[in-house]
Amino acid sequence: MPDVTTILGLIPARGGSKGLPGKNIRPLGGSPLVAHTIHCALRSGCFDRVLVSTDDRAIAEVARQCGAEAPWLRPQELAADDSPVIEAVLHALEWLERDDEYVPEAVALLQPTSPFRSVQTIRRGVELFRASGDSVVSVSVSPVHPYWCKRIDSAGFLGPFICGVEVPRSRQELPPAYVLNGVLYVARTSTLRRCRSFYGDRAHALVVSDQEGLDIDTPMDWDIAEFFWNRRTERDGG
């Protein structure tokens, strides 16, 4: 499979958020949340363009100030709480092809709610994508193993969430389990259009640490992010 030469770095950043209003431009460590992802994407040197897809003028202005492109505002119907992110990705590709005559060979999705990703992780994920030709999806170790999860039936009784499995008694005996995070998704443009997904026929796992994989969605998540940020600042001496 021929090597990919053009990769679009795409950052989806809606203005609305019920869990944490205004989070994408809320300051973390003195910078708007979305700025951390923009700066990381630009420093990685992996993308020929870094673009922010947003429905919010304030976010678009912050994006441009940080060096990213924000050439349009995403339609409101693609920016609701239940709007699949893949629709925003396909909208961006359609706009770029129609108005800019630009069709990247691949797209890397970086969610702004994962501010602790590193430049090295982006480079590692893109290198894996280039070497394999398959989709790449970032994951981190699940904080709660699915074998230990429970469900409550209609009568209010507690039972196993996964039935028919002999559950090990110790954590050390559990098979590894992973959860998706918003650090990095990479796929060919042809795959995105054909499958309407970053998974394609096969998806390689890019395993990242728990801290890198932190996805900010609630006030508690924000408190955890501020704790991590302050601890890192103290460790680095300022």
Confidence (pLDDT) at 237? 65
Distance CA 52, CA 105 (A): 18
Q: CB–CB of 206/125 below 8 Å?
A: yes
Judge if pTM exceeds 0.75. yes
User: Is the per-residue pLDDT at 229 higher than 70?
Assistant: yes
Average pLDDT in the 71-79 region? 91
Given a cut of 90, whether residue 21 has pLDDT beyond it is no
Count CA atoms closer than 13 A to 100's CA, side-chain side.
14
Q: Residue type at 149?
A: C
- Residues 109-162: pLDDT tens digits? 999 999 999 999 999 999 999 998 889 999 999 999 999 999 999 999 999 999
CATH T-level assignment (fold) for domain 7-141+179-236: Spore Coat Polysaccharide Biosynthesis Protein SpsA; Chain A (3.90.550)
Residue 72 scores a pLDDT above 70: yes
How far apart, in whole angstroms, are the C-alpha atoms of residue 134 and residue 205?
10
The residues spanned by each domain of the chain are 7-141+179-236, 143-176
